[in-house]
Amino acid sequence: MGIVETLAPEFVSAVKSASSVLIGTHLNPDGDALGSALAVSHYLDGLGIPNEVLCHHMPPRNLRFLPGVSRIRQTPKEEKYDLGIVVDLDSPDRLGNTESFFANCEKTIFIDHHVPHDAPGDIRIVDTTAPATAVILARLFNFLGAEVTSDIATCLITGIVTDTGSFRFRNTTPESLSLAAWLLEQGGNINLVSEQVFQSKPISSARLLGYTLERMQLDCNDQLCWSVLTNEDFETNHAVDEDTEGFVNELLFIETVQIAAIFREPKRGKIRCSVRSRGDYDVAAVARIFGGGGHRNAAGCTFEGPVEEAVEKLVDELRRCLESS
């Protein structure tokens, strides 16, 4: 049996013995983070168990269609909860301002697919081979014979679709496809997900993408590509960081490029970097050098200081990654 099947009885026992549950996920949430968190919330609703969903940041524009998204809060209503369930997160500090609320829970369950920085949680349902946390949850609910409503299905499909790039990324597995088909049978709306996530962009996003492509730099025989968006770019176009979703993939789509990175400065002096790669180039190992993390082919990290310094440090390590692989 796999990790899900092995720990399913412990999961059910912890959930059914709880009188209140706090659900959380990571900073700057993506489709897998929010989709998974809301799916758990809807599942607990079906069991009649009071629950709340916390996230340090508000949901980004392209995920506000998710069923139940309005229930996401930054602070809890209650002082203490019996059980905390944390999804799509490899280290408690990535809970941001909500970390202390989960530290007060009597028991915690972590459900994740990242290579862990540490091992938090009393029950850890972690499968680093899964392409998304939503895949793990879909597998769990399927194994338990849980009632999967159309809302749960749509939330989980969002997590699978976003983390596999609409089933285009290397992490796409036969299981992710079969579970997505099963979720469609339960009423999941993949057309809504695709339209809202990939086919609906504000004007500010289009303008920033133009800057990204115009300024891209190529190195290492055109195998390494990066671009920079400054704080001035964001302010001039009244843009926010979520407007840059997917930009790094545009750089990786260039046929010669093996590693791509984008440097964004939505707040002055704080540089967020997203890195993507093809094949066996492990950009997560590079991101970890700077306190970040992720997956082999998709990772990120954050710098404080001038953009130029961030570019110099990260690009140097990405060159080494290319040369050593």
**pLDDT for the residue 293:** 87
DSSP string for 183-239:
HHHTT--HHHHHHHHHS---HHHHHHHHHHHHT-EEETTTTEEEEEE-HHHHHHTT-
CA distance 226 to 228: 7
Token reading at 284: 């997560």
**pLDDT for the residue 91:** 85
Per-residue pLDDT reduced to its tens digit, 72-126: 999 999 888 999 999 999 889 899 999 999 999 999 999 999 877 778 889 999 9
- Distant-in-sequence contacts of 140-148, Cβ < 8 A, 24+ apart: 140/4, 140/8, 140/11, 140/111, 141/43, 142/179, 142/182, 143/4, 143/5, 143/8, 144/8, 144/12, 146/43, 146/46, 147/46, 148/183, 148/186
| pTM listed for this prediction | 0.87
Q: Kindly state the percentage of the chain with pLDDT values over 90.
A: 91
> What's the topology of domain 203-324?
Diaminopimelate Epimerase; Chain A, domain 1 (3.10.310)
**pLDDT for the residue 216:** 97
List the CATH code of the domain at 3-198.
3.90.1640.10
The count of other CB atoms within 10 Å of the CB of residue 302 is 15
Q: Which residues contact 112 (CB under 8 A, 6 or more apart)?
A: 86, 87, 88, 89, 90, 124, 125, 126, 133, 136
State the span(s) of the chain assigned CATH 3.10.310.30. 203-324
For the chain, residues with pLDDT lower than 50 are: none
State the span(s) of the chain assigned CATH 3.90.1640.10. 3-198
**pLDDT for the residue 79:** 86
Per-residue pLDDT reduced to its tens digit, 151-183: 999 999 999 999 999 999 889 999 999 999 999
